[in-house]
């Protein structure tokens, strides 16, 4: 079920909340939590009921393994931990990567092995990582084992089940005992939810209307030119941000309706002045998982520089593969691995350099690097990605449509050998360029969601956040203001009317 569908907004969510309130009053919190667990399973199995059994089996097996991790015998505990981790990875590998690996083996060895058509269970990458983290944490720390119901709800809690944030059990399970639906939580949660829906339906989906045809054209081998290539790359760069951060806002808002705080997942990543900073702001809970459960076990910062850089590359390659079973995702991860290595090397060398690079140049290099990497993330093959990237940096001949050429060239006093008139395909309309500019303004200068609700403490904090831009628009939500009530209603109406349940969230495929 999609958060941006009418059946979720007008059917599932009201029934889930009303049922929770009624059952809690009639039978107590324990029964209400059981109701929430049942609702989460219904949410997960809406489009593919057969996978309810899969997630229940995964949850049950991991819970049984966790009981063995309470043993005092260190050797047995370690064996059960490895068994649990391998079991989770095997499940993920079969459903997500079997076709990819078999297809590549067929290409290399000329074989003809066939894998049955496997329907990828929604959210499997997220609940797999979540349960691996649970097993590892439980094996290292002396913790009370949660009940089966609490553990199952921790994994399947519908706001974060499909696409995160990737939560830890120590963040969520203690909050279940304090769960509460009241006017304050509902109003705050709905406000956050509809801001996320606005990001998705109004901004991300409209940017997709331009980005998708250009990338599809590149997939078909159509030649690109400078302006369409940059416009499509920028459109997708902002689309994926507003799509995923919109989903995260919706998840945070849904959880807050029940009085539960989720961890922060985005912190204005496109304001980053370095790639290191970018990964502290983009998909924060995934970065946390990769650091705590992969990078640090590989040696982290305790090793030599060459080994540290190798560890960074391994982590980013696996991070790319986690996103999808395709070489384009691996290339995206490799690019970010190279970016991080260059960034760390420069930081080490920069300590001896007398001149500091201006912030605006640092931001520009970081942002353009991210845009280039997103092209490989979005394209379905190398040829298409290379076609777009090559066109992005072909400054010799910038082709304009006839109407734009006739408008622009007289204004600038000539084409100066840079511009030419052409029957160019996929040339962006002024409306689409305006949408890209609006998206850039919001990303770079508007208060982010945590900053907007900073008086309400809406997320779990691992470090200082709630950043507001040093320059630009600073806005703070006020739950006692009639103006904000009307504004929230207006945003909700626009978001609902703009929603298209056929356009699913980008990260649902992961």
Query: Is residue 197 within 8 Å of 164, Cβ to Cβ?
Result: no
Instruction: Please choose, from the candidates 355, 332, 157, the residue with its C-alpha nearest in 3D space to the C-alpha of residue 252.
Output: 157
- Which tokens hold the place of 207? 């940017």
pLDDT, tens only, 287-318: 999 999 999 999 988 888 899 999 999 999 99
C-alpha to C-alpha distance for 507 and 244, rounded to whole angstroms? 7
Active-site pick, 113, 168, 283, 323: 323
| More confident: 141 or 496 | 496
C-alpha to C-alpha distance for 80 and 87, rounded to whole angstroms? 10
pTM: 0.91
pLDDT of residue 443: 94
User: Please, how many CA atoms are within 13 Å of residue 61, restricted to the half-sphere of its CB?
Assistant: 18
pLDDT of residue 463: 53
Q: Find the range with the poorest average confidence among 56-70, 267-281, 381-395.
A: 381-395
Rounded mean pLDDT, 232-241 = 97
Residues 6+ positions from 504 with CB-CB distance below 8 Å: 2
pLDDT of residue 353: 67
- The kind and range of the H/E element at 78 are helix 74-92
Residues 6+ positions from 328 with CB-CB distance below 8 Å: 376, 377, 378, 379, 380, 381, 382, 385
Distance in angstroms between the alpha carbons of the first and the last residue of the chain:
15
Q: Is 113 annotated in the active site?
A: no
C-alpha to C-alpha distance for 247 and 364, rounded to whole angstroms? 27
C-alpha to C-alpha distance for 229 and 427, rounded to whole angstroms? 9
């Amino acid at each position: 079920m999609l958060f941006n569908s009418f059946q979720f907004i007008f059917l599932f969510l009201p029934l889930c909340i009303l049922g929770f309130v009624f059952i809690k009053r009639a039978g107590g919190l324990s029964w209400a939590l059981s109701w929430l667990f049942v609702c989460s399973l219904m949410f997960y199995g809406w489009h593919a009921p057969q996978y309810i059994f899969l997630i229940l089996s995964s949850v049950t097996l991991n819970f049984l393994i966790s009981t063995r991790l309470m043993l005092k015998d260190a050797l047995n505990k370690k064996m059960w931990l490895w068994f649990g981790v391998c079991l989770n990875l095997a499940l993920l590998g079969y459903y997500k990567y079997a076709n990819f690996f078999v297809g590549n083996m067929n290409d290399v060895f000329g074989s003809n092995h066939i894998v049955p058509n496997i329907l990828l269970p929604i959210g499997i990458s997220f609940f797999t990582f979540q349960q691996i983290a649970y097993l590892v944490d439980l094996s290292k720390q002396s913790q009370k084992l949660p009940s089966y119901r609490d553990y199952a709800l921790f994994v399947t809690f519908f706001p974060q089940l499909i696409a995160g944030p990737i939560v830890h059990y120590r963040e969520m399970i203690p909050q279940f005992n304090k769960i509460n639906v009241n006017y304050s939580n509902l109003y705050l949660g709905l406000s956050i939810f509809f801001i996320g829906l606005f990001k998705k339906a109004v901004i991300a989906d409209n940017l997709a209307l331009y980005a998708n045809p250009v990338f599809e054209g590149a997939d078909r081998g159509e030649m690109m030119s400078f302006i369409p290539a940059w416009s499509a790359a920028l459109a997708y760069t902002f689309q994926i941000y507003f799509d995923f951060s919109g989903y995260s806002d919706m998840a945070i808002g849904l959880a807050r309706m029940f009085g539960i705080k989720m961890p922060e997942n985005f912190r204005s990543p496109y304001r980053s002045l370095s790639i290191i900073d970018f990964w502290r702001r983009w998909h924060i809970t995934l970065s946390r998982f990769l650091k705590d459960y992969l990078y640090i076990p590989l040696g982290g910062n305790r090793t030599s520089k060459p080994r540290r850089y190798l560890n960074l590359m391994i982590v980013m390659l696996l991070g790319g593969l986690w996103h999808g079973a395709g070489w384009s995702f691996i290339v995206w991860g490799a690019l970010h691995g190279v970016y991080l290595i260059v960034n760390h090397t420069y930081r080490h060398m920069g300590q001896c350099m007398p001149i500091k690079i201006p912030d605006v140049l640092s931001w520009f290099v970081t942002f353009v690097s991210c845009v280039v990497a997103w092209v490989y993330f979005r394209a379905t093959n190398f040829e298409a990605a290379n076609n777009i990237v090559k066109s992005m940096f072909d400054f010799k001949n910038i082709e304009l449509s006839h109407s734009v050429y006739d408008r622009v060239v007289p204004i600038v006093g000539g084409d100066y050998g840079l511009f030419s008139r052409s029957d160019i395909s996929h040339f962006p309309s002024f409306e689409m360029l305006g949408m890209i500019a609006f998206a850039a303004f919001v990303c770079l200068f508007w208060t982010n969601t945590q900053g907007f609700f900073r008086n309400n403490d809406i997320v779990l904090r691992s470090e200082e956040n709630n950043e507001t831009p040093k320059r630009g628009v600073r806005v703070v939500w006020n739950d006692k203001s009639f103006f904000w009530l009307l504004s929230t209603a207006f945003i909700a109406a626009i978001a609902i009317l703009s929603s298209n349940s056929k356009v699913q969230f980008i990260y649902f495929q992961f």
